[in-house]
């Protein structure tokens, strides 16, 4: 919880500078690339989390990796995070920055879980329904999980909408075992 607060503070500070300089989207693209690189490298994650590795060595490694791939704002920000000993929080700061960007743009992130890959029409229909119900633009990410057997499970913020076949079967099982809502036993 403490790390989330610290990450949010750093993300808010970065957002302020990005807004002042008109580079919010550039910073977001750079941060996405940094996050993907960190997420894809266990060695880099261990380096950032290691209390044994000297700050200078971490800064040098990050400069070599990201120096030519990010703009001045993100490069300077990474150097600042490292100098403050907060480099291990970079993934959390990146996530907090993306959340801030979305909040300020009126965008809400949603995740959908399908049993099978959805068609483009199914994605558009779900996105449209979510936009109408939230009143915001929806950025939909999806994945598949055959365990849900069919239907869809959607998470928007803290709200979960479970329209999966698995959940419907669980409800049916509960009604059969414990009786239905009218109080009669099966």
Residue 95 has what pLDDT? 94
Which residue range forms the structural domain that includes residue 29? 2-103
Give the pTM. 0.72
CA–centroid distance for 114 within its chain: 18
CA distance 101 to 108: 10
93 and 16, same structural domain? Answer: yes
Residue 182 has what pLDDT? 54
Question: What are the pLDDT digits (tens) for 93-110?
Answer: 999 999 999 999 999 989
Residue 180 has what pLDDT? 65
Residue 151 has what pLDDT? 85
172 and 80, same structural domain? Answer: no
CATH code, domain carrying 128? 3.40.30
Residue 165 has what pLDDT? 87
CA distance 103 to 139: 12
Boundary of a domain, candidates 76, 103, 130: 103
126 and 80, same structural domain? Answer: no
Residue 183 has what pLDDT? 52
**Residue 60 resides in a domain:** yes
CA distance 51 to 61: 15
Long-range pairs of 21-27 with CB within 8 A, sequence gap ≥ 24? 21/73, 23/71, 23/73, 24/101, 26/71, 26/73, 27/71, 27/73, 27/74, 27/97
Residue 20 has what pLDDT? 97
**Residue 84 resides in a domain:** yes
Residues in the chain with pLDDT values less than 50: 185-186
Residue 186 has what pLDDT? 45
Total residues belonging to the chain: 186
CATH code, domain carrying 16? 1.10.520.20
Beta bridge partners of 137: 107
């Amino acid at each position: 919880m403490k790390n989330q607060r610290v990450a949010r503070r750093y993300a808010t500070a970065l957002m302020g500078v990005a807004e002042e300089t008109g580079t919010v989207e550039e910073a977001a693209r750079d941060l996405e690339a940094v996050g993907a690189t960190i997420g894809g490298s266990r060695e880099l994650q261990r380096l950032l989390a290691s209390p044994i590795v000297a700050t200078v060595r971490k800064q040098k490694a990050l400069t070599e990796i990201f120096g030519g791939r990010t703009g001045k704002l993100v490069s300077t920000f990474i150097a600042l995070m490292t100098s403050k000993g907060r480099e291990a929080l970079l993934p959390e700061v990146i996530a907090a920055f993306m959340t801030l960007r979305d909040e300020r743009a009126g965008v809400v992130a949603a995740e959908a879980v399908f049993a099978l890959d959805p068609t483009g029409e199914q994605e558009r229909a779900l996105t449209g329904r979510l936009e109408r119900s939230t009143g915001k633009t929806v950025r939909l990410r999806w994945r598949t999980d055959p365990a849900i057997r069919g239907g869809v499970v959607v998470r928007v913020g803290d709200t979960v909408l479970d329209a999966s076949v698995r959940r419907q079967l669980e409800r049916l099982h509960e009604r059969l075992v414990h009786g239905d809502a009218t109080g009669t036993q099966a």
